Structure 1
Amino acid sequence: MNTFHLTAFSANRREIACRAAVIVTCTVAACVLSLSPLSARAQDLKIGYVDRERVRVESLPAKTIEAKLHAEFSKRETELGEQEARLRAAAEELDKIAPTLPESERGRRQRELLEQDRNLARKRREFNEDFAQRVNEERAGLDSQAYIAIRRIFREEKYDLILQDALLVGPKVDITNQVIKALGTTGPPAK
């Protein structure tokens, strides 16, 4: 059970956002390409591509964030797992002894288990919401760091266009490794 993997959240939203970003970036690329003559395009246009998901998983700050979140939430995750195990054991025990209990006692214990299950479900929802919020906060910080690194590469290496989301990309324009390396050398910003 890997609840700490950062890419597991908001898959549908991310897919929609990526599709929209691809459309926008392809439109921008088409506009840039249409503004220059054909011969100049082939010789002078320098395009780069960054795989945002690889940056979010493979960069040093991403790994640091994952370890930080794991440390922050692992205790609560363990406690919830233990509570779930205790609740399952209590339910199994009640199932075993239920035939021997008076109807009123059986009903009371079932209500108690139901209430415990509701409380546990509420705690699990709160945990998931807290975890998702922290992931989003940390991801926003990482995206900001990545943007700064990409902008620096853009200026230093005189790129005309750097895309962050694309449908198909050749290895000649993929600068993701450069961005990951730049993030590893700059480190997280001081707070």
Structure 2
Amino acid sequence: MTQQHTSFFGNHGALQRFGAGLFLSFLCAFGMSAAQAADFSAGRVGFVNLERVLKESAPAKASQVKLEKEFSARQKDGAAQDTAFKSAVTKFQTDAPVLAEAKRLEQQKKLMEQERDLQRTQRSFQEDLNKRKNEELQKLLVSVNKAVKDIAAAEKLDFVLQSAIFVDPKNDLTDRVLKMLDGN
């Protein structure tokens, strides 16, 4: 039983057949046979969910642990600086009404310097962390691309996509890429 789909623009089936016929005619006009054109349009396609690979693969998890170890001390120091600054601000707000004008201005100046130092430290930490994340991501992408290319070559695929609206599960290579990266 064939189901006809119609829309605002009319019958899609007829439009698709017309478009396919036009495409084949175009290819034939430029020296390709209908068999070559049919072979070209029926290329073998695979799909890899890159986001999933970057979250679930063993190398991705190892990179995350490595970065956490590398930056945990600086993160703790930054948190301690932040806590000390907030404590100093609270103390200043409590003491400010009873302080002499000169002492109050001096403490305000110290707090502003402390805040600038804290912001500089936080900015430096974030820049260094982002730089290292990008370095680790690039290493991981090299491994992922190699795994995808190896699988594509073994399966004789013409295309491997990493973004799609719909993927037939039989074309999804993500689990195979994860196994290859995990060494299984």
Q: Please give the TM-score of this superposition, normalised by the length of structure 1.
A: 0.74
SS at 2:170 equivalent: coil
| Partner secondary structure for residue 159 of structure 1 | coil
Query: 1:46 corresponds to which residue?
Result: 44
Q: Name the counterpart of 1:88.
A: 86
Report the Cα offset of residue 144 of structure 1: 0.2
- The aligned counterpart of 2:156 is 158
Which residue pairs with 1:148 in the alignment?
146
Which residues of 2 match residues 49-68 of structure 1 at below 5 A?
49-68=47-66
Q: Does 2:172 match 1:171? A: no
Aligned with 1:172: secondary structure?
Answer: helix
Q: Percent same amino acid at aligned positions?
A: 36
Is 1:129–2:127 an aligned residue pair?
yes
- How far apart in 2 are the matches of 1:41 and 1:175? 21
Are positions 1:111 and 2:90 aligned together? no
Structure 2: gaps spanning 5 or more residues: 1-22
CA offsets per residue over residues 20-69 of structure 1, 9 Å max, x none?
xxxxxxxxxx9xxx88544x478x63210111111111100000000000
Moved more, 161-170 or 173-182: 161-170
| Structure 1 position 165, deviation (Å) | 2.6
1:164 Cα deviation after fit: 2.2
**Which amino acid is the alignment partner of residue 51 of structure 1?**
N
Q: SS of the counterpart of 2:183?
A: helix
Equivalent-residue separation in structure 2 for 1:162 and 1:168 (angstroms): 14
In 2, the alpha carbon distance for the partners of 1:129 and 1:168 equals 37
Indicate the SS of the match to 2:171.
coil
Deviates more, 1:106-115 or 1:162-171: 162-171
Distance 1:169 1:114 in 2: 55
Question: RCO (CA 8 Å, sep 6+): is it higher in 1 or 2?
Answer: 1
Shift of 1:78: 0.8
Task: Could you tell me which runs of 5 or more consecutive residues in structure 1 were left unpaired when the two chains were aligned.
Answer: 1-29, 187-191
- Aligned residue type for 2:123: R
Question: What is the one-letter code of the residue matched to 1:126?
Answer: S
Specify the code of the residue in structure 1 equivalent to 2:61: K
Equivalent residue for 1:3? none
| Cα shift readout 1:127-176 (whole Å, capped 9, x = no counterpart) | 00000000000000000000111111011122121112334323221111
3-state SS in 2 of match to 1:48: strand
